[in-house]
Chain A
Amino acid sequence: MSPSPNPITQGNDAHIRPRRPKRLLIVDDAALVRAYYRQALEQPGGYTVDEAFNGIEALEKALSGPYDLILVDVNMPKMDGLTFVRTLRTTEEIACLPVMMTSTLNRDKDIAAARAVGVNLYLVKPISVDDLRLFAAIMTGATEP
């Protein structure tokens, strides 16, 4: 077996995949966004993917985890993404989960608000498949940043 190449410098996205299956939770009220993230990350990325519709469902799922990474939108019904992350960070069993926030909101204050509640990485939509895979790999520790 050849030593596994550095996925980033390799630049070939087929190699940007975790060494063992990592579990992701995708949280977005838009069905098409969830489907897009799933197809980007599940098969080629090798991740196991679960979905939640909003912050409340995400908390239910996160508590039933474990997950390696949560991808979460901001604008969602009943519980928005910022409230979700704030609650997550104060819920003992799941407080330390890495969170990647993806949103259409692109102003500095939106990003500052996300950072303030404990979001680890903020990406503005639309996001390419390559970027999704790259950042998911970095965030799950599947590769060195």
Chain B
Amino acid sequence: MAMPRTGGPSQPDAVTDEEFARFCEFIYRRTGLSYGASKRYFIDRRILERVERSGVSSVQSYLALLRFDSTGRELEEIINSLTVNETYFWREEYQFACLANSILPEVVRTKRRGEPVRIWSLPCSTGEEPYSIAMWLLENWADVDQYDVEIIASDIDTQVLAAARQGLYDARSVQRLPKWVLDRYFERPTSDRWRIVDSLRSSIEFTRINASDRAQMAKMTDIDVIFCRNMLIYFDDVSRREVADSMYSSLRPGGFVCLGHSESMSRISPLFAVRRFADAIVYQRPAR
């Protein structure tokens, strides 16, 4: 919009209860992200920021913009500001705790001797997630020495995959890692750079996969746990369902899916059973 904004009386400074309700309903139906009343302040701030940036005059017009923008750009903007569109080590670490404390103990119960445990990070972006899984298991899973663990990491974007293979990170990425983890698994090529040690880098299989490509997905089989965090929120209804359907087929019976924080399978697919563990809610392909 060409009109200069002066922040005068036309700029809304609050979100009404009705607007909040309408927004949450819309976001849930479109993205599967779900927020309760406890997130009210956070959501209101994000809405008002986007109202100002997009230059519309009211929250109502902003909601109309969101709904009718056929390019999907504004939807992507608001998703980015509701979620953190940046990946980092130990992100949503309660899920790694759940993996080591609850999921893997259940998974290995039905493993035969010598059968590997297969964990898939989809999407892996620049690698923080699969490396986090590896380090967490090495440090926190009591039975880690008794099983072969395969970690596979995939993304559609070859550039992020190249960066992931390199394993070179800045201070922002590693800021949540405890010092002893940094010491054990990273080298310091320069003072503001951290690089994953070779032995860890070379133990993870990086491979390009488009999650929406059924043929590519079908080649991934016998997976025990899929981390599918912060990707499906950007997809439309049909694409999300297709990915869930493919993931189901890639999992072995009894295998698990972990979605991102605020993401829920409830808006995506009826295929999985809901499992509540002490650390997190996750989804399971029924064992049969």
B270 contacts partner chain A, Cβ-Cβ < 8 Å: yes
Q: Are A53 and B267 in contact (CB under 8 A)?
A: yes
Q: Is B108 an interface residue (CB 8 A)?
A: no
Q: How far is the CB of B28 from chain A (nearest CB, A)?
A: 7
Q: Is the CB of A64 within 8 A of B28?
A: no
The smallest C-beta distance from A91 to any residue of chain B, in angstroms, reads 8
Residues of A within 8 A of B267 (CB): 53, 78
Given contacts A56-B265, A57-B264, contact A63 B274 (CB under 8 A): yes
Interface residues of B (CB under 8 A from A): 21, 25, 28, 34, 264-270, 273-274, 276, 281
Min C-beta distance of A81 to chain B, whole Å: 13
Interface of A toward B, CB cutoff 8 Å: 31, 35, 52-54, 56-57, 59-60, 63-64, 78-79, 83, 87
Q: A interface, by DSSP: helix, strand, loop or mixed?
A: helix
Number of A-B residue pairs with CB-CB distance less than 8 Å in the complex they form? 37
- Pick from B21, B25, B274, B276: contact of A56, CB below 8 A: B274
> B270 to A56, Cβ gap below 8 A?
yes
Given contacts A35-B21, A56-B274, contact A64 B264 (CB under 8 A): no
Nearest opposing residue in chain A for B276, CB measure: A63
Bound-complex Cα distance A144 to B25 (A) = 37
Q: Give the chain A neighbours of B25 by CB distance below 8 A.
A: 31
Other A-B pairs beyond A60-B274, A60-B276, A64-B276, 12, CB < 8 Å = A31-B21, A31-B25, A53-B34, A53-B266, A56-B265, A57-B34, A57-B264, A63-B274, A63-B281, A78-B269, A79-B270, A87-B273
Closest Cβ of chain A to B232, distance in Å, is 14
- Knowing A31-B21, A35-B21 are in contact, say whether A56-B281 is a contact too (CB < 8 A): no
Cβ-closest 9 pairs across A and B: A57-B266, A56-B266, A63-B276, A59-B274, A78-B270, A31-B25, A79-B270, A60-B274, A60-B281
